[in-house]
Amino acid sequence: MATLTEKEVKPISKNKLLGIAGLGWLFDAMDVGILAFVIAALHQDWNLTTQQMGWIGSVNSIGMAVGAFVFGIYADRIGRKKIFIFTLLLFSLASGLSAFTTTLAAFMILRFFIGMGLGGELPVASTLVSESVPAAERGRVVVLLESFWAGGWLIAAVISYFIIPSFGWRVALLLTALPALYALYLRVNLPDSPQFTAKKTGLQSISTNIKSVWSKTYRRPTIMLWIVWFTVVFSYYGMFLWLPSVMVLKGFSLIQSFQYVLIMTLAQLPGYFSAAWLIERMGRKFVLVTYLFGTAASALAFGNAETITTLIVAGAFLSFFNLGAWGALYAYSPEQYPTVIRGTGTGMAASFGRIGGILGPLLVGSLLAANYEINFIFSIFCGSIIIGALAVAFLGTETKQLELE
């Protein structure tokens, strides 16, 4: 048996691990957040139709679906750390290059590769952190990891509000690419998951791992995860990638829409922190179901809002509940599988969910082009979220403070 080097087994503190992984998570969120504002800017700069705007978000999700599937599988073969670093490098380089595109086709090709990196990194990051933290703190730490997403969205909103109107969307994209390279530097000395390191001699083939995810033992949690991932991603990307554009369609200027979305985005942070506090006290199922129903109600209220105050309040609650649910989902997913198939199972669920991310933005673009009202569109997302909540309630099992296999 090959001996492990000191560097591979050297422990890392919980806070350092959270900081390193969280910083990369923040930069990922910056890229996705910037895209929502860039789509609104490109609509004016390139005279895009609503269908073309929808395809930009969907191509990003196609890449995320491919990335989550491929890199989730390989995380169980070559390690969490290596995939973690490679996916970061892939999305940061492609993001920087997208600032120099002059055609929609070139922009969308690069968005596919950006999506691959993003889609691969997120489930692998949550798996790595889950396997490196004691059971008593695991859920809270993973939700706190996900809370860096809110920080990234806030920075994206600030960059968009101050940079895009004055300097253009290209400068904004360049700014999101640069710090990601710094995160790559930070991760070079990051040790791999101790559980994966211990399992290196018992690794299975890729085909065996995929079959195991759908074996009788794990079929029920797999069905549950695939349903909730699909409904959550479908609704999130359908709603949040269109938020600035929806505000413009409601009659606000581009700068006003950026300002209001920035205010709504601030509510993501208490959403994460409250979920992190509750998840080890009330359990994963309680947090997921409660926050998903809160998301559904907020989506319905946002779609039917007729005043600025109602719009902002409903949007803030939408951010609060939706992102809190995201944090719980990332904590809950890796806990459904043993170490040998954890990356594969989590990656496949995330990959299936990204199909929803493809359909959501396309659906909004198509329905807007067909002159459907915003309230009708958001009622579809409300129904989708309710289905996800029911799947967790009836098919899910509680995993609070259980030791991972």
50 secondary structure, DSSP code: H
Please report, to the nearest 10 degrees, the dihedral formed by the alpha carbons of residues 209, 210, 213, 216 taken in order. Answer: -100
> Has residue 194 been placed in a domain?
no
Which are the contacts of 189, defined by CB distance < 8 A and separation ≥ 6? 7
100 secondary structure, DSSP code: T
Q: How confident is the model at residue 202 (pLDDT cuts 50, 70, 90)?
A: low
Residue range of the domain that includes 145: 14-186+206-395
> Has residue 289 been placed in a domain?
yes
- Which of these ranges, 2-6, 242-246, 268-272, 309-313, has the smallest mean pLDDT? 2-6
Q: Is the pLDDT of residue 295 over 90?
A: yes
**pLDDT at res. 286:** 94
pTM of the predicted protein model: 0.78
Q: Is the pLDDT of residue 250 over 80?
A: no
Please report, to the nearest 10 degrees, the dihedral formed by the alpha carbons of residues 272, 274, 280, 285 taken in order. Answer: -80
- Which of these ranges, 152-166, 216-230, 325-339, has the smallest mean pLDDT? 152-166
SS3 at position 57: helix
- How far apart (Å, rounded) are the C-alpha atoms in residues 292 and 230? 13
- Report the pLDDT averaged over residues 158-177: 85
- How far apart (Å, rounded) are the C-alpha atoms in residues 198 and 176? 36
Q: Is the pLDDT of residue 72 over 70?
A: yes
Domain count, the chain: 1
Q: Is the pLDDT of residue 9 over 60?
A: no
**pLDDT at res. 220:** 95
- Report the pLDDT averaged over residues 95-122: 90
SS3 at position 99: coil
Q: Which one of 15-29, 63-77, 186-200, 372-386 scores highest in mean pLDDT?
A: 372-386
Q: Record the tokens describing residue 383, joined without a space.
A: 């129904």
- Which residue carries 């949007």 as its tokens? 315
- Report the pLDDT averaged over residues 335-344: 86
> Has residue 51 been placed in a domain?
yes
How much of the chain exceeds pLDDT 70, in percent? 90
386 versus 78: which is more confidently predicted?
386
Q: Is the pLDDT of residue 139 over 80?
A: no
User: Which backbone phi and psi does 359 adopt, to 5 degrees?
Assistant: -75, -35
Rounded to a whole number, what is the distance in angstroms from the first to the last CA of the chain? 22
**pLDDT at res. 3:** 38
pLDDT digits (tens, 9 = 90+) for 307-324: 788 888 988 999 899 989
- Report the pLDDT averaged over residues 138-155: 82
Q: Is the pLDDT of residue 105 over 60?
A: yes
**pLDDT at res. 361:** 81
CATH code for the domain in which residue 62 is found:
1.20.1250.20
- The closest alpha carbon to 73, from 326, 354, 327, 351, belongs to 351
- How far apart (Å, rounded) are the C-alpha atoms in residues 31 and 269? 18
**pLDDT at res. 189:** 67
Which are the contacts of 224, defined by CB distance < 8 A and separation ≥ 6? 391, 392, 395, 396
Q: Is the dihedral of CA 249, 255, 259, 264 positive or negative?
A: positive
Q: Is the pLDDT of residue 6 over 60?
A: no
> Has residue 404 been placed in a domain?
no
Q: Is the pLDDT of residue 1 over 50?
A: no
- How far apart (Å, rounded) are the C-alpha atoms in residues 226 and 205? 22
Q: Is the pLDDT of residue 241 over 80?
A: no
- The closest alpha carbon to 157, from 243, 76, 270, 221, belongs to 243
- Report the pLDDT averaged over residues 352-358: 87
By CB neighbour count within 10 A (0-12 exposed, 13-18 middle, 19+ buried), where does 296 fall?
buried
- Which residue carries 């915003």 as its tokens? 374
**pLDDT at res. 322:** 92
> Has residue 400 been placed in a domain?
no
Q: How confident is the model at residue 198 (pLDDT cuts 50, 70, 90)?
A: low
> Has residue 191 been placed in a domain?
no
- Report the pLDDT averaged over residues 58-73: 87
- How far apart (Å, rounded) are the C-alpha atoms in residues 41 and 107? 14
| Average model confidence (pLDDT) across the chain | 83
CA distances, 310 to each of 242, 299, 318 (Å): 18, 12, 12
**C-alpha angle with apex 127: 335 to 192, nearest 5 degrees?**
135
**pLDDT at res. 8:** 43
Q: Is the pLDDT of residue 201 over 70?
A: no
Q: Is the pLDDT of residue 4 over 80?
A: no
User: Which backbone phi and psi does 58 adopt, to 5 degrees?
Assistant: -70, -40
Helices (H), ranges, 219-283: 219-240, 243-249, 254-266, 268-279
Q: Is the pLDDT of residue 182 over 80?
A: no
Q: Record the tokens describing residue 18, joined without a space.
A: 């959270």
Please, what's the b/e burial string for 330-365 (b: 16 or more CB within 10 A of its CB; e: otherwise)?
A: bbbbbbbbebbbbbbbbbbbbbbbbbbbbbbbbbbb
**C-alpha angle with apex 49: 46 to 50, nearest 5 degrees?**
125
> Has residue 377 been placed in a domain?
yes
- Report the pLDDT averaged over residues 328-356: 88
> Has residue 4 been placed in a domain?
no
Query: Residue 270 corresponds to which amino acid?
Result: P
- Report the pLDDT averaged over residues 176-180: 74
Query: How far does Cα 381 stand from its chain's mean position?
Result: 17
